Amino acid sequence: MHERKALMAELSDGFIALPGGIGTLEELFEVWTWAQLGSHIKPCALLNVFGFYDRLLGFLDFVVEEAFMRPIHRNMLLVGETPEGLLGKMERYRAPPETRWIRRDER
């Protein structure tokens, strides 16, 4: 499974998660984590059809509020409600220059 995902990641220009289950979330979080760690500079995105991911997005904002994620890393996850709008965001995406984890002085 890991080899298949690594090959897909290598061949992809970006990543979009459609509404789905745990497998979809696992794949999204893995490529998003790779981006946070600086392993790639490709956009990671959610297609939030009819608000499907609203609760997840609220939770991610809570994670930032609790200082378990930096806002810069939260903002790396692009969100759109339409394919056209989301693709536009992905075309304009530029990875942040700094991808470090939270430092002690930021808490």
Domain boundaries, the chain: 2-95
Residue 1 has pLDDT above 60, yes or no: yes
What class is the 2-95 domain?
alpha beta
In this prediction, residue 104 carries a pLDDT of 54
Q: Give dist(CA 107, CA 87) in Å, integer.
A: 34
Residue 106 has pLDDT above 90, yes or no: no
**pLDDT per residue as tens digits for the range 33-53:** 999 988 899 999 999 999 999
Residue 97 has pLDDT above 70, yes or no: yes
* C-alpha distances out from residue 99 to 48, 49, 72, Å: 25, 29, 8
**pLDDT more than 70, % of the chain:** 92
Q: For the residues 70-90, what does the mean pLDDT come to?
A: 97
